[in-house]
Structures are given as structure tokens and as C-alpha cells.
Structure 1
Amino acid sequence: MPNRPSTPRRLLLVRHVALAGLAAWLLSACAGVPPEAGRTVAELTAQAERWDQAIVRKDRAAIEANMADDFRQIDGAGNVESKPSFVDDLMSPDLQIDPYTVEDFEVRLYGDTALLSGRTRMSGRYQGRPFATHYRYIDVYVKRDGRWRIVSVQISRIP
């Protein structure tokens, strides 16, 4: 969507999530990282992938379930979106997002805060016209009441 870069998100393929989870567990085991950290990385990787799939299929309930009520997004133009405005933009009948993948995906843990980042090339249609975008993102997740929720997203366009 050329006029609203805030809407695009990323989608990992199920096969990649399983491999990423296994790789995270193996790396944590070999690097002396506590097994719990490897499990958390795998959990967050799978959760982010499910959220991306929900976005592509426009599953409002699944999208909102992953988000904290105080969610904020800073888009590529510096605009700030709230949870309601972000979800409403995704649900717009004008927007159709094609399945997409993430490059350079990384999860960094800081206690009950996690930073998930990567690069995404996305395509789709907005108001019937094709669009393509390439951006780097960072998603901030916080663990509250035993559940990880996304609290913040920031994207930067890559020319």
C-alpha cells in the first residue's frame, strides 16, 4: 500500500518457524544459553508467525489477541498508530496483503521484554492497485500476566 506504509507486516512460513525454533534451541544449548531462553525464542518466533498469518487472512480476533491494549506503531513516515487504528487499517477492504517472508529475523531477550526484528519485502493490492514495499522493522513484546503481547512496532522503509 504505497500511501500507508504502516499496514504491511511480515509472514514466516510454517516450515521456517519450526526450523528457526529448532535452530534457536540448538544454538542456546551449544552457546551455554539457558534452555528457557531457547524455548522463549521459539515461542516468540511461532507467535510472531501466527500473527503474520492472521494479518494476511484478516483475522481481527487473532490480530487483537496478540496486541497489548496500549499498543503503538510508528510507521515509515513517522506517524503514530494506536491498536484500534492499526487493526482498522488492516481490516480495510481496500487492502489485500500477499503472503510474505522475513529476512534477517532475530529475537533478543531482556527479561520480560523481547525485541523481534528483521527485513520484509511485501506485496499486495491497495484499492485494486499493486504495491510492493521493502522495510526493516522492530517489534517490542512484553510479558504480562504470563503472556507475551506486542506493545510497539516501528518500521523503516528500505529504498
Structure 2
Amino acid sequence: MSILNDEKEVLAADGQRRAAILAADSERLDHLLADDFRYIHASGKVEDKLQYLASISPGKFLSLEIGELDVRTYNGVAVMLGAIDLRRTAEGRIIEKRHQFSGVWVRNDGRWKLSVFQNSSKSTG
């Protein structure tokens, strides 16, 4: 498999991940996450796969727009770095934020799965 094909596959898998989050489709999301998945929030809170899946609820996320994006692949591992603009609901309010993120994807049984995803607040300076 070529590096270019790997990058395209990772980008496609990440698009499926975002679509599953917006649709609150935990079953589809489950298939895109590695069993040892960890999600690190901008606040520093860490969730495992089951905790993260339980946190995805209908109407929570209104949009997830990727800005700058860089994908690098290394023999079955892909590192994704970028920015995301999100709109979500919390306690009856709409919140808009921009985060920097990093994600580590691993090829497992011929499929790309997200192993780690970390958000950090985007600096305005």
C-alpha cells in the first residue's frame, strides 16, 4: 500500500468518524475506534473507549469542520494534526470553539482505527 493511499484511507475514516459523531451513531463509531482508544479533552480529562462512546448523544454536536490538516503515515501508523471548529450544545446553550487536535490511527486487520485523539484549545496569540 502506498503512502498516498494510506493518507486517503485515513482521511476517509476520519470523515466517517465525524459523520458518526454528528449522527450520534455509537455503533458505527465503535468500529472506527481501537479497543484501547483514549480521548483526551482540552480540559485534560481522559476517557477510554466505553466512556467516550457513552458521551456521544443525539444533538450534542451540531458541526465539526476541519481546518488546517496534516496527515503523516509510517508503516501502519498515521498521525493526524489539525484544527477543528465545532458547534455543540451544553446545558441548553450552543457553544462554538476552535481546537487544535492530534490523532493517532493504526492499521488493524487491514482497517484504520483511531487509537488516540487529543484536543487542545487554540491559542489566539
Calculate the TM-score normalised by the size of structure 1: 0.73
Structure 1, gaps ≥5 residues long: 1-34
Residue in structure 1 matched with residue 33 of structure 2 by the alignment: 67
Match runs of 1:29-44 below 5 Å:
36-44=2-10
2:70 counterpart (100, 106, 110): 106
- Which residue pairs with 1:150 in the alignment? 114
Report the structure, 1 or 2, having the larger helix content: 1
Q: What is the rounded CA distance, in whole Å, between the counterparts of 2:32 and 2:64 in structure 1?
A: 19
Task: State percent identity of aligned pairs.
Answer: 25
The residue that corresponds to 1:49 in the other structure is: 15
Query: What residue is the counterpart of 1:97 in the other structure?
Result: 61
Instruction: Provide the rounded CA distance (Å) in 2 between the counterparts of 1:75 and 1:99.
Output: 17
* Aligned-pair CA distance for 1:72: 0.7
Structure 1 residues 65-86: Cα deviation after superposition (integer angstroms, max 9, x where no partner): 0001110111112121100111
Residue 81 (structure 2) pairs with residue 117 (structure 1): yes
Number of residue-to-residue matches in the alignment: 123
1:31-86 CA distances to partner (integer Å, 9 max, x unpaired)? xxxx7111111111111001101100101111110001110111112121100111
Provide the C-alpha distance between the structure 1 equivalents of 2:9 and 2:114, rounded to a whole number of angstroms. 13
- Runs of at least 4 residues of structure 1 off by over 3 A? none
The structure whose Rg is larger is 1
Amino acid at match of 1:76: A
RMSD between aligned residues: 1.4
